[in-house]
Amino acid sequence: MVRTIAKSIAVIQLAVANVAFAGSTPSVFAGTLADMTYVELDKAIDSGAVALWAIGAIEEHGPHLPLATDVYIPSVQLLQIQKRLADRKIASVIVPPYYWGVNRVTGAFPGSIDIRPEVMTELMKDVFRSLTAAGFKQVYCITGHYDAAHSRAIIEAVRASNNGMDTRVHYVVPKPLADRVGLKSGDPGFLIANVSAGKPPEHPDLHAGEAETSMLLSAAPDVVRKELIESLEPTDLTPKDVETWRRGYEDAKRVTPLGYLGDPASADAKSGALRLEQQAAAFAEAIAASVSERR
């Protein structure tokens, strides 16, 4: 069994590596099952591979980060998670990222695509249904987008799918986000990851601030508008300001007119790499424990 799993992991890695570039054009699906053939995918599923899925959003991230920030970050983390799982002899396949999210907070900014929660939930259920039909037994989702309404749409999709399918679907959630949306340890279908909090930020750092800017400087530095970062002043908001910001739309735009909340000028790639690694390690640990329980 171990030899079969190891062979499957090698097949998955080779299949996606061979098509990272199609001629001179980078593949938008590099590293995911979309660049595998159905035969390769079927072999991976037969060997017990689990599915990993990043649930992101297209959303404004200030003048210095791209709209796809919440897609880049979890996609990079899934690659790290996949490697950590492979080290434990757990084969996995990455589903292409979901990026049409719920943007209730930043919905008033250009580029924040705001999908109705019920539409997002139904689409996710159809993807879960298709993964079940393909033969996957377990699916694990993470998000790079911490809008509470977005997470609640994921929660609805996970609960509904687990009530009607053989495949077990899981949402792996950092504890601070779990607390915000009312998830508790032991809730079926939800894995709460205890990610190291690190040193508390000097300013509230909730959106396109030091944390996200640092992670993107590490994960995808070429898409960061580095020349702008040093000119961005800390937002230094009060708890009341943050509460108003979380009401979203025009309230959020009034509180953060430049579209960021935090101190992006203090960002650096080294701390971003550490944060990415710590989060990926916590997510991988939670997933590995769940897989072991089901074996």
Is pLDDT of 21 > 50? no
Please state, as a whole number, how many other Cβ atoms lie within 10 Å of the Cβ of residue 103.
Answer: 26
pLDDT band at 292; cut points 50, 70, 90: confident
* CA angle (182, 202, 185) in 5-degree steps: 20
What is the residue-averaged pLDDT of the chain? 91
Crossing angle for the helix pair 117-134 and 38-46, to the nearest 10 degrees: 80
Q: What is the pLDDT of residue 8?
A: 59
Q: What is the pLDDT of residue 196?
A: 73
Buried b (16+ CB within 10 A) or exposed e, 204-229: bbbbbbbbbbbbbbbbbeeebeeeeb
Question: For residue range 49-107, what is the model confidence (pLDDT) as tens digits?
Answer: 999 999 999 999 999 999 999 999 999 999 999 999 999 999 999 999 999 999 999 99
Question: For residue range 218-244, what is the model confidence (pLDDT) as tens digits?
Answer: 999 999 999 999 999 999 899 999 999
Q: What is the pLDDT of residue 1?
A: 54
Q: What is the pLDDT of residue 22?
A: 46
Give the pLDDT mean for 116-136: 97
196 by Cβ neighbours in 10 Å (0-12 / 13-18 / 19+) ranks as: exposed
Task: Report how far residue 58's alpha carbon sits from residue 112's, in angstroms, rounded to the nearest whole number.
Answer: 6
270 by Cβ neighbours in 10 Å (0-12 / 13-18 / 19+) ranks as: exposed
Name the phi and psi angles at 222, rounded to 5.
-70, -20
Task: Report how far residue 103's alpha carbon sits from residue 69's, in angstroms, rounded to the nearest whole number.
Answer: 13
Is pLDDT of 4 > 70? no
Transcribe 240-266 into DSSP letters.
HHHHHHHT-HHHHHHH-TTS-BS-GGG
Question: For residue range 167-212, what is the model confidence (pLDDT) as tens digits?
Answer: 899 999 999 999 999 999 899 999 999 987 667 777 789 999 999 9
